[in-house]
């Protein structure tokens, strides 16, 4: 879901990623940017986009104000594998070839979208993932008001693990993905972790990482059958039905 991050790609240490400011951005993101400029409010823009597509449900931003992502990345420059640089912009962090060592938002404490806070407080379940860990999942934990709502809500919490590492998480194990949640929000407690058995491999370290968050690991065949690292929507839905319907 769109989460208030900026839509202008920047290179290492703030340098421009190229002469074309639209490079690397999906058409959907550009349409949303146009709607935001037209309507003057990201919530209204997302509701308008949802109505255009006949979408069921509601998409809300993390914040109504522009928010950027910065990462400290080791080896972002292949010629200097031990140097640490700041990589700015959602797209540039997502495609970095170095190892992300830390992540932060700019500004560091943006005001949370009030509707998002209300939705978190009213929810039965909060589901984190699947998605790009550093640029789509973790940023929500870095908005102080959202983090407070995530920790204090009565909703149960489920983490859906990715099937394969992306560029931004190369070098991270499946267990490391769960450890990153604790690193960025130590107060976070999780009820269940859902993962594909083949993608997990040895489940023991993942079980230990899940237990450190207070969670139970649930393994299910949720990937497409052709072997590519993609979730099968029907299989994922079938795996979620008994999980989300379980008693506390």
Residue 26 pLDDT: 75
Q: Name the pLDDT band for 106 (thresholds 50, 70, 90).
A: very high
Secondary structure tally for the chain: helices H, strands E: 9, 7
Residue 20 pLDDT: 55
Which burial class, exposed, middle or buried, applies to 8 when counting CB atoms under 10 A from its CB (0-12, 13-18, 19+)?
middle
The mean per-residue pLDDT over the stretch 133-162 comes to 95
Q: What is the pLDDT of residues 35-64, one digit of tens each?
A: 989 998 999 999 999 999 898 889 999 999
Give percent above pLDDT 90 in the chain.
Answer: 59
Task: Determine the Cα–Cα distance for residues 145 and 207; give it in Å rounded to an integer.
Answer: 30
Residue 19 pLDDT: 44
Q: What is the pLDDT of residues 174-209, one digit of tens each?
A: 899 999 999 999 999 999 999 998 888 889 999 999
Average pLDDT score over the chain:
86
Q: Is the pLDDT of residue 248 over 60?
A: yes
Compare 19 and 79 and report the one with higher pLDDT: 79
- Nearest CA-CA partner of 89 in 74, 67, 107: 67
Helix (H, G, I), strand (E, B) or coil at 226: coil
Q: Which CATH number fits domain 114-244: 3.90.230.10, 3.40.50.10680, 3.40.30.10, 3.40.640.10?
A: 3.40.50.10680
Residue 233 pLDDT: 94
Residue 62 pLDDT: 94
CA 8 vs. chain centroid, Å, equals 18
Task: Determine the Cα–Cα distance for residues 89 and 234; give it in Å rounded to an integer.
Answer: 33
Under 8 Å between Cβ of 106 and 90? no
Task: Determine the Cα–Cα distance for residues 175 and 208; give it in Å rounded to an integer.
Answer: 8
Q: Name the pLDDT band for 124 (thresholds 50, 70, 90).
A: very high
Q: Name the pLDDT band for 27 (thresholds 50, 70, 90).
A: confident
Give percent above pLDDT 70 in the chain.
Answer: 89
Q: Does this model's pTM top 0.85?
A: no
The mean per-residue pLDDT over the stretch 141-159 comes to 97
Domain ranges of the chain: 27-106, 114-244
Under 8 Å between Cβ of 64 and 89? no
Cis status, amide bond into 130, omega within 30 of 0:
yes
Residue that has been written with the tokens 């079980």 in this structure: 207
Residue 12 pLDDT: 32
Q: Is the pLDDT of residue 167 over 80?
A: no
Under 8 Å between Cβ of 174 and 164? no
- Nearest CA-CA partner of 174 in 139, 142, 210, 143: 210
Residue 192 pLDDT: 96
Under 8 Å between Cβ of 105 and 69? yes
Residue 43 pLDDT: 94
């Amino acid at each position: 879901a769109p989460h208030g991050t900026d839509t202008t790609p920047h290179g290492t240490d703030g340098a421009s990623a190229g002469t074309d400011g639209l490079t690397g951005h999906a058409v959907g993101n550009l349409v949303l940017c146009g709607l935001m400029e037209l309507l003057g409010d990201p919530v209204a823009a997302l509701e308008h986009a949802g109505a255009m597509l006949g979408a069921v449900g509601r998409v809300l931003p993390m914040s109504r104000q522009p928010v950027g992502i910065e990462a400290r990345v080791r080896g972002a420059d292949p010629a200097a594998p031990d140097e640490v640089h700041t990589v700015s912009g959602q797209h540039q962090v997502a495609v970095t070839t170095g190892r992300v060592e830390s992540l932060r938002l700019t500004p560091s404490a943006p005001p949370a979208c009030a509707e998002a806070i209300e939705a978190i407080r009213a929810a039965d379940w909060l589901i984190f993932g699947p998605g790009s860990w550093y640029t789509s999942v973790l940023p929500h934990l870095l908005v102080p008001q959202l983090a407070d709502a995530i920790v204090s809500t009565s909703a149960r919490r489920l983490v859906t693990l990715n099937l394969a590492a992306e560029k931004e998480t190369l070098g991270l194990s499946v267990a490391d993905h769960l450890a990153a949640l604790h690193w960025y929000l130590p107060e976070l407690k999780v009820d269940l972790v859902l993962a594909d058995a083949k993608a997990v491999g040895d489940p023991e370290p993942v079980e230990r990482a899940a237990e450190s968050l207070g969670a139970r690991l649930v393994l299910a065949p949720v990937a497409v059958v052709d072997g590519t690292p993609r979730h099968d929507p029907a299989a994922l839905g079938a795996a979620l039905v008994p999980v989300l319907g379980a008693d506390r």
